[in-house]
């Protein structure tokens, strides 16, 4: 049975056991901010020194740390003070996309990988959550282990790990018998019913 409390505990166990993958997931989500907010069309004004025709192209020479040449197939408009607007690469946007894609690939590989050391361990975390909800009752030197009002097993010795039983319960919950309670609980229920009728 899925309850809100179990879902919260499941998320807690998943984050606790997969700290590095959780940090990568948060970083990938954080990289969505610059991806969505960075301007992809950055423009830069450069001071044109000279221009000339080279075949069908018009070339503009400008100085920025060294002499550079811009080629255009059409003649560009130069402002009255001699500046030309050119496209500029948005480095932060490129790095954000690269980081986002790399993190997504790592997270996808970790999600679908069969090795328990690399994957998220979703099944194991749910098993941990259910294992914590097991109730143990003791009567007539027999231990009864109950989960969601179903009898997982009974034993004459105390058991500390019931992961195999919990895994079977996760796969086939209808195969387990409904637990009605110990003999003492049944007697108390009948007594309460009799007393409430009077």
Q: What digits encode the pLDDT tens for the residues 41-77?
A: 778 888 888 888 888 889 889 888 888 888 888 888 8
Of 156, 150, 155, which is closest to residue 135 (Cα–Cα)?
A: 150
Q: What predicted TM-score, i.e. pTM, was given to this entire model?
A: 0.60
Average predicted confidence (pLDDT) for the chain: 85
Q: Evaluate whether 168 touches 193 at the Cβ level (below 8 Å).
A: no
- pLDDT reading at 34 higher than 80: yes
Q: Is 78 helix (H, G, I), strand (E, B) or coil?
A: coil
Cα angle at 111 between 109 and 115, to 5 degrees? 80
Q: Is 28 helix (H, G, I), strand (E, B) or coil?
A: helix
More confident residue, 33 or 181: 33
What percent of the chain is modeled with pLDDT above 70?
Answer: 97
Q: Work out the widest C-alpha separation in the chain, in whole angstroms.
A: 110
Q: Which of 91-95, 118-122, 136-140 has the lowest mean pLDDT?
A: 118-122
Confidence of residue 101 (pLDDT cuts 50, 70, 90): very high
Q: Evaluate whether 21 touches 107 at the Cβ level (below 8 Å).
A: yes
Buried b (16+ CB within 10 A) or exposed e, 33-56: ebeeeeeeeeeeebebeebeeeee
């Amino acid at each position: 049975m899925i309850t809100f409390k179990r879902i919260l505990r499941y998320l807690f166990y998943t984050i606790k056991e997969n700290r590095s993958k959780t940090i990568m997931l948060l970083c990938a989500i954080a990289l969505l901010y610059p991806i969505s907010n960075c301007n992809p069309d950055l423009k830069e004004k450069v001071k044109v020194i000279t221009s000339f025709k080279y075949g069908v192209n018009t070339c503009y020479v400008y100085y920025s740390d060294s002499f550079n040449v811009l080629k255009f197939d059409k003649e560009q408009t130069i402002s009255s003070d001699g500046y030309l607007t050119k496209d500029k690469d948005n480095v932060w946007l490129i790095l954000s996309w690269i980081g986002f894609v790399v993190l997504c690939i790592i997270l996808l590989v970790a999600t679908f990988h069969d090795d328990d050391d690399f994957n998220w361990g979703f099944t194991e975390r749910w098993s941990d959550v259910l294992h914590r909800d097991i109730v143990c009752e003791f009567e007539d030197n027999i231990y009864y282990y109950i989960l969601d009002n179903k009898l997982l097993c009974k034993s004459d010795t105390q058991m500390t790990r019931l992961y195999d039983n919990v895994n079977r319960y996760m796969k086939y919950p209808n195969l387990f018998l409904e637990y009605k309670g110990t003999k003492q609980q049944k007697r108390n229920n009948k007594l309460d019913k009799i007393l409430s009728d009077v």
